[in-house]
């Protein structure tokens, strides 16, 4: 079955870029395992993204940014051979949305690029950010920079654009290999997380708003979350 093929692909960990991993025995590795266990248990994804009691928000965000980078790499990897400069001459999400690339370095001004080039530059850029220990500290003894959450907003906003492109331009391939349930679960997890912590603006989410209203139907968790209440 196609689904078996996709699951084999997923379990082998093949990605469009090498996977970033947390060192065993570190706090972020244990948080990463906690997030993974919650996902596989099939419980309400709206509840899964909540900050665990007693944990630091920046640690929780760091773990998820790396996890989403790995997962979206994998998702794009399943359609990459169909996403060419000929088939996708622009990084778009349908006729209304086109994304321009700027990195403040080689591309100082927003520049239109073919989708595969945009995604390749994006993944290189994200990889450089998350491997930079001054931006994403490995040790909990090293504080996160003040710009950390702003950087994560930029990373997650740009990763969302990969979801937009894959869903709108390559969904037939996702269905063909039986990956639709997995991609939808990844998307829901991503969507609930960025909304929970206001990490991607509503305007950016607009291209997939109809699909989101269809697939993101998990009921809101009960309001008794002591960690989310104001500290006394």
- Tell whether 152 is in a known binding site: no
Distance CA 171, CA 84 (A): 15
CA atoms of 8 and 160, how far apart (whole Å): 25
Contact yes or no for 188/215 (Cβ under 8 A): yes
| Residue showing tokens 């590795």 | 29
Is 186 marked as a binding-site residue? no
The rounded distance, in Å, linking the Cα atoms of 139 and 24 is: 12
For the chain, count helices (H), then strands (E).
10, 0
Residue 64 known to bind ligand:
no
Query: Cα(first)–Cα(last) distance of the chain, in Å?
Result: 55
Q: Which residue numbers belong to the known binding site?
A: 83, 88, 165, 170
Q: Which residue numbers belong to the known binding site for Zn(2+)?
A: 83, 88, 165, 170
């Amino acid at each position: 079955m196609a689904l078996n093929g996709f699951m084999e692909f997923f379990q082998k960990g093949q990605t469009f870029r090498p996977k970033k991993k947390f060192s065993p025995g570190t706090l972020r590795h244990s948080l990463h395992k906690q997030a993974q266990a919650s996902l596989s248990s099939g419980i309400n994804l709206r509840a899964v993204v909540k900050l665990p009691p007693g944990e630091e928000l920046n640690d929780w965000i760091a773990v998820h940014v790396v996890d989403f980078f790995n997962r979206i790499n994998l998702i794009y990897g399943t359609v990459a051979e169909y996403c060419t400069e000929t088939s996708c001459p622009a990084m778009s999400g349908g006729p209304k949305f086109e994304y321009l690339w700027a990195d403040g370095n080689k591309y100082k001004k927003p520049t239109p690029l073919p989708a595969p080039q945009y995604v390749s530059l994006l993944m290189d850029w994200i990889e450089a950010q998350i491997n930079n220990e001054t931006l994403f500290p490995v040790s909990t003894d090293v504080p996160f920079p003040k710009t950390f959450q702003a950087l994560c907003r930029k990373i997650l906003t740009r990763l969302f654009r990969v979801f937009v492109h894959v869903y709108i331009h390559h969904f037939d391939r996702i269905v063909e290999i039986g990956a639709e349930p997995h991609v939808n679960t990844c998307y829901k997890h991503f969507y609930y997380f960025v909304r929970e912590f206001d990490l991607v603006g509503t305007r950016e989410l607009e291209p997939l708003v109809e699909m989101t209203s269809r697939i993101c139907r998990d009921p809101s968790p009960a309001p008794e979350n002591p960690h989310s209440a104001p500290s006394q």
